[in-house]
Amino acid sequence: MMRIGEKLGRYFSLVSLSSVLLITVLSNIGMNVFFTTYLRSSQESDDQAIAEYTRELLTEEGSLDEQDLMSIEHYAFTMKAEVILENEEKEVILSTREPIEDMGNSKDTQNYMDPEKFSYREYTYGKDRTMYIGRSKSVFSASPDRKFLLTINFIYLLSAVISLIIGMLLRNRIKGIFLRPIYAIQDNARRIEEGEYQLVENVNTDTVELDELAGSIKKMALRLQNQEILRRRLTADIAHELRTPLSTVNSHLEAFIDGVWEPTPERLVLLQDEIRRLTSLIRDLGDLSYMESGEIRLAMSKVNLTELITNIMDGFEPLFLSDGKILLDDLAKDVFVYGDSDRLNQVLVNILSNALKYTDEGDSVEVVLREKKKTAEIIIKDNGIGIEKKDIPYVFERFYRSDLSRNRSTGGKGIGLTITRSLVEAHQGTIEVESESGKGTTMTIILPLYTAPE
């Protein structure tokens, strides 16, 4: 395993070296191809100039004397060329090179040529006279050319060294800019791992991906912190829900055993009610666990939502009248959805029961049903006590109640809305809540409309 800073340093150095090496190789290839072509072309122009100069000397005097030959030799020297001149008898009259072999007075042209090191161009000057101009096969054989090539490669080598130095300096700079937010995110993840959600800090970075990652970590910490609070509250709520009936049953049984009370039918009925309450709580917990597992089985069919809501409201109307409350409706006709009528009935009964419970005497509850695009929208609105703003995000959480006193006259077990949400989502729908303390609550359920199979 290697730290990311070390990896970045290695990759940065590798990229720098590879870049310089690539530039060096391509530049040398370029010089050998393009510069060689340029030099060859320049040498050919110089050779033609030597040939033309020789022709001019021959034209003016008709022959070449010692002075002319010296001039040609000097001119060839300035052009860095080897020159061999033949007369009409094909004898060498001038050569800027010594003969290869000592053959006395031999004037054979081949004795003055070195084809392994030089390439020769042939020109004519005068009638039946030939001259050969030789050039080194290596364009960098000349000292200035070699120095030029060595200088260029030295510059590349120096560039590689400078690039490495700059790379080492920039590596620390990059680590500071790029890795600092990563280390901060790592610290935040470690705090989350240790359960210190409140210590998660904001991470400042101008990198989009890192900023999004830091934001996700922050949101996850807040969510986990809220879940931790809810978990502790859930534990306390379940303990309270179990403690009250069990304490009642235990105190009555102790009184019966000690002979303080007689087991009268009235007292036995009270014990039965407490046991029934425990049984109901356990059943609801089982239903909640089943529904939240994502394996809810629904008896799906075409459901007339208008008729379903009408029947439910008919059943609730006597309860509203007995409490001095008003139940209003505004239902669109023949709105059909594809769902489980029993489960949808359970959803609406849960919400209407809450609306009835939390609406004051003389106030009203209104149920609205309408079609909106390809959905059915059910709105249940009351003007009761409402919900505190801080409690709205948690109304669908298990055992969550804004009244921490858990008074049974104002609240049930605290899992009705959790079950309601699970059932709505099982129908591919959504449920939302809007509320303001002292001004009432609005529950909105959106379900997909029924579509006939093709």
Question: If you ran DSSP here, which 8-state letter would residue 88 be given?
Answer: T
Q: Look at residue 410 in the predicted model and tell me its pLDDT.
A: 46
pLDDT at res. 288: 65
Higher pLDDT pick, 176 / 447: 447
From residue 440, give the alpha-carbon distance in Å to each of 25, 84, 166, 347, 410: 80, 116, 68, 19, 15
Instruction: Give a yes or no: residue 193 inside a domain.
Output: no
pLDDT of residue 408: 45
Of 433, 424, 430, residue with least CA distance to 446: 430
Other beta carbons less than 10 A from residue 86's beta carbon = 20
Report if residue 78 sits inside a domain: yes
Among the candidates 246, 268, 292, a domain finishes at 292
Does a structural domain hold residue 155?
Answer: no
Looking at residue 11, its pLDDT comes to 72
What angle, 0 to 180 degrees and rounded to 10, lies between the N-to-C axes of helices 416-426 and 341-358? 150
> 300 or 289: whose pLDDT is higher?
300
| Same domain for 67 and 84 | yes
Q: Which residues pair with 85 in a beta bridge?
A: 94, 131
* Measured distance CA(366)–CA(352) in Å, rounded: 10
Name the pTM for this structure: 0.49
Average pLDDT (413-424) is: 78
Count structural domains, the chain: 3
Q: What was the pLDDT predicted at 142? A: 59
Residue 202, domain member (yes or no): no
For residue 142 the two structure tokens come to: 């000349």
Does the pLDDT value for residue 337 go beyond 90? yes
The CATH number covering residue 351 comes to: 3.30.565.10
Report the share of the chain in percent with pLDDT over 70: 85
Strands 326-331 and 364-372 turn out to be parallel
Cα distances from 245 to residues 241, 401, 404, in angstroms, run 7, 19, 18
User: What range defines the domain where residue 236 resides?
Assistant: 208-292
**CATH number of the CATH domain containing 223:** 1.10.287.130
- Final residue of a structural domain among 235, 265, 292: 292
- Whether residue 39 is found in the same domain as residue 109: yes
Q: Are residues 126 and 234 in the same domain?
A: no
* 331, pLDDT greater than 90: yes
Whose structure tokens read 């009244």? 403
CA distance 288 to 336: 27
Whether residue 324 sits in one domain with residue 263? no
Query: Is residue 307 located within the same domain as residue 413?
Result: yes
* 25-29, 69-73, 271-275: segment of lowest average pLDDT: 25-29
pLDDT of 413 strictly over 60: no
pLDDT for 100-137, tens place per residue? 766 555 678 888 888 888 899 999 988 888 999 998 88
Residue 83 has a pLDDT of 93
Whole-number pLDDT of residue 88: 84
How high is the pLDDT of residue 139?
63
Identity of the highest mean pLDDT range in 28-32, 55-59, 330-334: 330-334
Residue for token digits 């029993």?
Answer: 342
| Residue 14 pLDDT exceeds 80 | no
The sign of the torsion formed by the CA atoms of 256, 260, 262, 263 equals negative
Same structural domain for residues 44 and 140? yes
Q: What number is the average pLDDT over the span 392-397? A: 76
Most distant CA atoms of the chain, gap in Å: 159
> What is d(CA 94, CA 107) in angstroms, rounded to the nearest whole number?
10
The pLDDT of residue 351 is above 60 = yes
Q: Is residue 35 part of a domain?
A: yes
Q: In what order do the strands lie in the sheet with 375-382?
A: 326-331, 364-372, 375-382, 440-448, 430-436
Choice among 155-159, 201-205, 291-295, 375-379 with the minimum mean pLDDT: 291-295
Counting beta carbons within 10 angstroms of the beta carbon of residue 285, is it exposed (0 to 12), middle (13 to 18) or buried (19 or more)? middle
Q: How far apart are CA 441 and CA 330, in angstroms?
A: 17
- Interval 215-232 mean pLDDT: 82
Q: Residue 290: pLDDT above 50?
A: yes
Based on the fold, state whether residues 10 and 134 are members of the same structural domain. Answer: yes
Q: Which amino acid is at 396?
A: F
User: Both 306 and 437 in a single domain?
Assistant: yes
How is residue 375 written in tokens?
Answer: 């959905």
Neighbours of 426 (CB within 10 A): 18
> Is 346 part of any domain?
yes
Reply yes or no on whether the pLDDT at 311 is more than 80.
yes
Residue 24 has pLDDT above 70, yes or no: yes
| Cα gap 317→356, rounded to integer Å | 10
381 confidence band (pLDDT: 50, 70, 90): very high
Q: Are residues 374 and 406 in the same domain?
A: yes
Predicted confidence band of residue 414 (pLDDT cuts 50, 70, 90): low
Q: Which of 144, 176, 200 is the endpoint of a domain? A: 144
Measured between alpha carbons, how far is 367 from 380 in angstroms, rounded to an integer?
5
Which residue type is seen at 391?
A: D
Structural domain contains residue 172: no
- The amino acid present at 1, given as its one-letter code, is M
Domain annotation covers residue 185: no
Question: Does one domain contain both 31 and 93?
Answer: yes
Residue 301 has pLDDT above 70, yes or no: yes
CA distance 253 to 259: 10
Q: What angle do CA 335, 337, 338 make, to 5 degrees?
A: 160
How does residue 170 score in pLDDT terms, banded at 50, 70 and 90? Answer: confident
More confident residue, 267 or 76: 76
Q: What is the mean pLDDT of residues 384-400?
A: 77
Q: E strand or H helix at 367, and its extent?
A: strand 364-372
Query: Contact 401/414 with Cβ under 8 angstroms?
Result: yes
Q: Name, of 1-5, 138-142, 146-150, the range with top average pLDDT.
A: 146-150
How many Å apart are CA 316 and CA 333, to the nearest integer? Answer: 20
Q: Range with the lowest mean pLDDT among 48-57, 105-114, 381-390, 423-432?
A: 105-114
Q: What count of other Cβ atoms lies within 10 Å of the Cβ of residue 128?
A: 10
Q: Are residues 325 and 380 in the same domain?
A: yes
56 and 23 belong to one structural domain: yes
pLDDT of residue 182: 83
